[in-house]
Every structure is written in structure tokens, then in C-alpha cells.
Structure 1
Amino acid sequence: MRLSDTIKLELLKYFRFERNYNLICTEGIHQADVNASNGSSLVEVEIKISKADFKKEFQTAKESSRWKEYKHKNYSEPSKHMPTFIVPNRFYFCVPAELADWAVEYLKDKNSKYGLLSYDTERYTGSTHIVTIKPARNLHNEKPEMRALLLIARRTTNELITAKEKFIENKQELEALQEGVLVAEGIK
């Protein structure tokens, strides 16, 4: 499994079991790695697994897509964003433990309200390996709009359907292997 996928799973567990958020998804609003909401607050997390990956997040439009620049501009001035643009209450980056000190320094001249989480296999908090390095401060204090919550719920449902389909497919493959009847084209 890729490191970013492992971290996503850890973040899902972190927000559900440690932070008690009810709505959590991956690849959700603004294709964020993780979105989480408890109904009164919306959180966005971007996972960065290398320094180069982290630095790309803040490249100017000439070097990268305009989307990231637009997003961070809206997050720095939430009162000026377009009404259709969803701004989370809090924004975090999550990095492997070995990048945490570097990331804290790198973020100093970025948005001071951004937080930093770390995936640390040396530390276990009860249900996950996610540790808060720098708490995020609110970008704004408004409750999430219903459409934001529905987007997370819709994405969560899509993920559940995909996981259930994969589970059934894997179960059928395992049963076929146990019976010695697995065919190259699929399962019969």
C-alpha cells in the first residue's frame, strides 16, 4: 500500500474515533485528501509525503495549476471568496513524522492559521498514529453549509459502494481459489 493511502486511512480513523466527527471522506470537497465535519465545523487535510510535494502546493500559477493558488488565496481571505466556493473552518497538512520539523519551518511564511498533523508510526494514540504538531486556527467561524455536508455524505457513500464491490469481488476470488477454480478471465 502506498504511504499516502496508509495516511488517508489513519486520518479517517483519527477524525472518526479520536475527534468524533460524523462525516469523513477522502477525495472530497476540492478533491481534498480528507474532509471531515461534525456538523458545526468543516476540516480539510492535504497529505504531503515529500518536501517537493509540499512545495508544489504553494507554487505560483506559472509553475503549477491556478487552482492551488486560487484555493489558498480564498483560504487566506475567506470573507472575499465567491459564494459558491466552500472554505473549510480549519485546514491542515499531514506529513510523515520525518518531515514534521521541516514542514513547521516551511509553513511559517504561509497562512499562519494552517495546522500540521503528522503520521508517526512510533506513536500510537489509541486508535491511530496521527499526532497534532501545530493546531489549526479557524479560517472563519461560520457553520458549514448543508451542500458541503451533502458533498461529504455523497462521497462517503461512493467510497462505501466501491469498498463493498471490491470486498465481494475479493471474496469471490478467494472462494474460487479455495475451490481451485480461478480462471484467467474472471470467476465463473
Structure 2
Amino acid sequence: MMYHPHRMPFIDPLAVLFPSQNPDRMPFIEPPPVLILNQDKKAPLKTKILNQVQYYLSEDNLPNDVYLRKCMNDEGFVHIEFISSFNKLKALTSNAQLILDSLRDSDIIEVQGYEIRNRHVWRKYVMPQDWRAYINELELEIVHLQKENARLKRQEEQMQLKMAEATQHQTKKILQRSWTSPF
């Protein structure tokens, strides 16, 4: 059926009822409750800092965080400047003293001077010194291989560009030889 505006019946706009116009015919529906997904936004800054650092040094994070573990000393301590360089903590504050003050009353984090550790489980996660050195060597090798890979990729792209230019040049020569003017 085709649409013909001049043949369409006229609909009175008052015939459309809204709940406020006719409450007997339309049931009232309660709006859904507003769900606050991140209630942590209202927590004080010191609490946020404490929670973040406790997570970094927790048994949930440490088994998988080789980077943090290799930076621990033999007693499981890491320097506060190192921890404060982590992105989520850096988003909260860059003030190392504020971080230390936030951790002073923690039952989980132990503070000694400018170093911190998990008070209870640090022994489980300290890497032997030779492992730390080996991981550093592996990381340097990875960086070297990534640079070499990038260099080879650039070289390959340059070769592909030269081949495309040569093919284009050869095609142009062939077309010039084979094309003759009709005049």
C-alpha cells in the first residue's frame, strides 16, 4: 500500500492519551531505582589510597604481578616512589607523604621509613636475587627484539614501496610503447 498524504485520515491529537490525562485507563508504573555503580567515589581520598595499595600488595595481585615482585627487596619492601608511579594510584595523588600517611594505620600494610610491604604474606612473594636479575635480562632482551622487529618491519615496508614504484614505472613504459595515436 502506497502512502498518500492527501488520502490519510485525520487523527485528532487529543485522542492520544497520556497517563496524566486519563489515569483510570493507564496504570502507574514505578520508575526503576537508580543504581549507583561506584559508591567508592564518595570515600575519602585516604581510604581510596589505602584500598589501592592494599590491593597492589594483596594475595589477589602479587602472584601475577612479576613487575612488582621483582622490585621488592629481600625483606619484601618496595619504595613508596615506585608504588606511587602506578597509574591508578597516580590518578589519586602524586604526594608520597600522603600515601604514607594513608597507610600508617593499616593492619595489612607495614611502613618502614619510605618503604612498604604486606605485613603478613611478603615472604611468599619475594623473588631470589638471581631470579630478579634474570627477569631484568629477559626484559632487556624483549626490548631489543621488539626494536629489531620494528626495524625489520620498516625495512619490509620500504622494500614493498620500492617494488610498487618499480612496477608502476615498468607498467608506464609498456603502456607508452604499446599506445599509438589514432591520428
Given the two structures, how large is their TM-score scaled by the length of structure 1?
Answer: 0.33
Structure 2 length normalisation: TM-score? 0.34
Q: Counting strand residues as a fraction of each chain, which structure ranks higher?
A: 1
**Higher percent of residues as helix:** 2
